[in-house]
């Protein structure tokens, strides 16, 4: 076993009483320092959270995206997909949060799409009513 000088840290020949580098006396027995063995880390147990699995609103999010409002439906689908992955990881709070966000974006998409559709039909009805009056006026003029 190689020994080292306590003063300068250089290796000492076996059987040497003094350090050849600094001349310090070498004690007969030097303490042997061993690295402590690493303790095994406990592995986290993937337990299912307490409580029912939150709804992911995936079907409603897809329908709202297709039929109502695409830009607001995409985040609804993304958050809907995250619900199951968070649940499978055992992160109940994140799954619940993603479920709430999916529902919010799905509702925003549906309401925005509904408002746009109603506004479209209102403008069409208004335009037809204006066109109808002028068309009838022209018919009366040529009679």
Return the pLDDT at 21.
81
Residue 104's pLDDT is what? 96
Write down the pLDDT at residue 78: 95
Q: What is the pLDDT of residue 45?
A: 47
Distance CA 85, CA 79 (A): 10
Number of H helices, E strands in the chain: 3, 2
pLDDT averaged over consecutive 10-residue blocks of the chain (143 residues)?
A: 75 75 73 62 56 90 91 93 91 93 95 94 85 69 65
Entry pTM: 0.56
Give strand pairing partners of 25: 18
Residue 50: what pLDDT?
Answer: 67
């Amino acid at each position: 076993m190689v020994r080292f000088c306590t003063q300068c840290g250089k290796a000492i020949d076996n059987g040497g009483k003094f350090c050849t580098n600094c001349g310090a006396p070498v004690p007969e027995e030097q303490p042997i320092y061993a690295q402590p063995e690493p303790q095994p880390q406990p592995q986290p147990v993937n337990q299912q959270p307490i409580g029912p699995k939150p709804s992911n609103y995936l079907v409603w999010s897809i329908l709202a995206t297709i039929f109502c409002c695409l830009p607001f439906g995409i985040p609804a689908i993304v958050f809907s997909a995250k619900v199951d992955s968070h649940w499978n990881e055992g992160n109940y709070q994140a799954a619940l949060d993603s479920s709430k966000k999916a529902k919010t974006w799905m509702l925003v998409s549906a309401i925005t799409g509904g408002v746009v559709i109603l506004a479209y039909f209102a403008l069409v009805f208004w335009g037809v009513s204006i066109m109808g009056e002028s068309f009838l006026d022209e018919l009366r003029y040529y009679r």
